[in-house]
């Protein structure tokens, strides 16, 4: 198979051309659902704004009270779009890199690395401790340690990387607990951030995390064909001309950029990177040329749906989006384990 064929994933899915129209229709329906959820995200809150008023405020803004309310909700909705896309695509990439359907973006210690860096910065009194510039170094350092431990004296295999990720994540989680519980000021700041929420975030965060998320998404989408090759096994991937080590490094870089930016913006939001690829895979199969674009749309849809549900369930108060996604992701994890046992 030529390099061009490999880069496009040609030959990975039998009958792919016959499935293309159906997958395009499905992607269009998912995109339409996302548009509806965007409008609902702008409409739902302590003050409900009718959807026609939302539409008018977006395309014919004025000085009314409804326009002001919707303008205040736009940054929250945009942040949900960015974070949902980042976490879902990162989950799809991580599952492809490790060939582990239960992998999520935190498997390489990305989330705990970012959280550890933020906790450390908060303890030291660093200004802007929850910024992406603090989270990124911690996330990258965690990934480097995981990769070095997973490589050992030989090649970095999926099993070694998973085990190394579990070890590093456990150590960092213990460090985070020790620091946050020992310093009351750190605990007060950390306990609100760690749950994961779109509410109350500085709109400036959008511009801080946007470049990192865009680069991470572009890099992840560029790896679709190589991830298809990895799914066939390392030896087969090498026979097809794929550089396995380089692919894993680039995939880890993409995942780190996406997760660190999302974590710095809204805190750790669990299960999105696990749940969305599983949901999408039932429609697209294992072909990453379709899996990742679907994740790009379905991830924001899940985040916005969870955020809307959190505003409705305990109105006029709110459930943080991280709590709602945990309730959604838990059953999906159980179903995934049962499905693996059934096919084993």
Q: Please, what is the average pLDDT of the chain? A: 83
DSSP states of 66-94 as a string? Answer: HHHHHHHHHHHHHHHHHHHHHHHHHHHHH
pTM (2 decimals)? Answer: 0.87
- 8: confidence class by pLDDT, cuts 50, 70, 90: very low
Q: What is the mean pLDDT of residues 174-203?
A: 82
Distances (CA, A) of 160 to 99, 166, 242, 249: 12, 10, 20, 15
Residue 11 confidence (pLDDT):
46
Nearest to 132 by CA among 185, 192, 83: 83
Nearest to 260 by CA among 93, 116, 125: 116
CA pair distance 332, 330, nearest whole angstrom: 5
* CA pseudo-torsion sign 115, 119, 120, 122: positive
CA pair distance 225, 3, nearest whole angstrom: 10
Buried b (16+ CB within 10 A) or exposed e, 110-145: bbbbbbbbbbbbbbeeeeebbbbebbbebbbbbbbb
Nearest to 231 by CA among 85, 24, 22, 13: 13
Dihedral angle, C-alpha 291, 296, 301, 303, nearest 10 °: 110
Distances (CA, A) of 203 to 214, 266, 312, 318: 17, 11, 23, 19
Residue ranges in 124-233 assigned as alpha helix (H) = 132-151, 158-182, 184-193, 204-222, 224-230
CA pair distance 91, 220, nearest whole angstrom: 11
Distances (CA, A) of 284 to 16, 28, 174, 193, 236: 10, 13, 38, 34, 22
CA pair distance 321, 304, nearest whole angstrom: 9
Structural domains in the chain, CATH included, are 36-343 (1.10.3470.10)
For residue 150, the 8-state DSSP code is H
CA pair distance 226, 40, nearest whole angstrom: 37
Q: Is the pLDDT score of 302 beyond 90? A: yes
pLDDT tens-digit readout, 37-62: 999 999 998 888 888 888 888 888 77
State the burial class of residue 167 (Cβ atoms within 10 Å of its Cβ: 0-12, 13-18, 19+).
middle
Query: Of the ranges 107-121, 217-231, 324-338, which one carries the lowest mean pLDDT score?
Result: 324-338
- 3: confidence class by pLDDT, cuts 50, 70, 90: very low
State the burial class of residue 56 (Cβ atoms within 10 Å of its Cβ: 0-12, 13-18, 19+).
middle
Share of the chain above pLDDT 90, in %: 25
Q: What is the mean pLDDT of residues 312-320?
A: 83
Nearest to 105 by CA among 331, 243, 276: 276
CA pair distance 22, 68, nearest whole angstrom: 41
CA pair distance 66, 31, nearest whole angstrom: 26
Q: Is the pLDDT score of 1 beyond 50? A: no
Q: Is the pLDDT score of 344 beyond 90? A: no
Q: Is the pLDDT score of 131 beyond 90? A: no
CA pair distance 310, 304, nearest whole angstrom: 10
pLDDT tens-digit readout, 240-295: 778 888 888 899 899 989 988 888 888 888 788 888 998 888 888 889 999 999 99
Q: Is the pLDDT score of 101 beyond 70? A: yes
């Amino acid at each position: 198979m030529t390099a061009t064929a490999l880069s496009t994933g040609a030959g990975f899915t039998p009958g792919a051309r016959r499935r293309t129209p159906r997958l395009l229709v499905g992607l269009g329906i998912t995109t339409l659902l996302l548009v509806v959820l965007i409008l609902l995200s702008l409409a739902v809150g302590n003050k409900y704004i009718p959807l026609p008023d939302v539409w008018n405020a977006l395309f014919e803004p004025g000085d009314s009270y409804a326009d002001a309310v919707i303008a205040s909700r736009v940054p929250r909705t945009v942040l949900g779009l960015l974070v949902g896309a980042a976490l879902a695509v990162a989950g799809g990439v991580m599952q492809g890199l490790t060939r582990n359907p239960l992998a999520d973006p935190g498997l390489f210690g990305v989330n705990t690395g970012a959280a550890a860096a933020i906790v450390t910065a908060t303890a030291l009194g660093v200004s802007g401790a929850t910024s992406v510039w603090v989270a990124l170094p911690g996330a990258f350092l965690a990934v480097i340690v995981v990769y070095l431990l997973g490589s050992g004296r030989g090649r970095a295999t999926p099993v070694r990387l998973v085990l190394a990720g579990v070890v590093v994540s456990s150590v960092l989680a213990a460090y985070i607990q020790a620091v946050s519980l020992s310093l009351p000021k750190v605990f007060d700041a950390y306990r609100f951030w760690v749950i994961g929420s779109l509410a109350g975030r500085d709109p400036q965060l959008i511009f801080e995390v946007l470049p990192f998320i865009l680069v991470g998404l572009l890099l992840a989408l560029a790896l679709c064909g190589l991830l298809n090759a990895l799914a066939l096994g390392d030896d087969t991937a090498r026979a097809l001309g794929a550089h396995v080590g380089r692919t894993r490094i680039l995939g880890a870089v993409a995942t780190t950029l996406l997760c660190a930016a999302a974590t710095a913006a809204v805190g750790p939001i669990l299960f999105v990177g696990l749940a969305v690829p599983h949901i999408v895979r039932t429609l697209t199969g294992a072909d990453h040329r379709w899996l990742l674009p679907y994740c790009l749309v379905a991830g924001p849809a899940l985040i916005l749906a969870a955020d809307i549900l959190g505003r409705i369930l305990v109105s006029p108060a709110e459930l943080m989006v991280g709590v709602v996604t945990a309730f959604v992701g838990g059953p999906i994890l159980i179903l995934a384990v049962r499905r693996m046992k059934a096919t084993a």
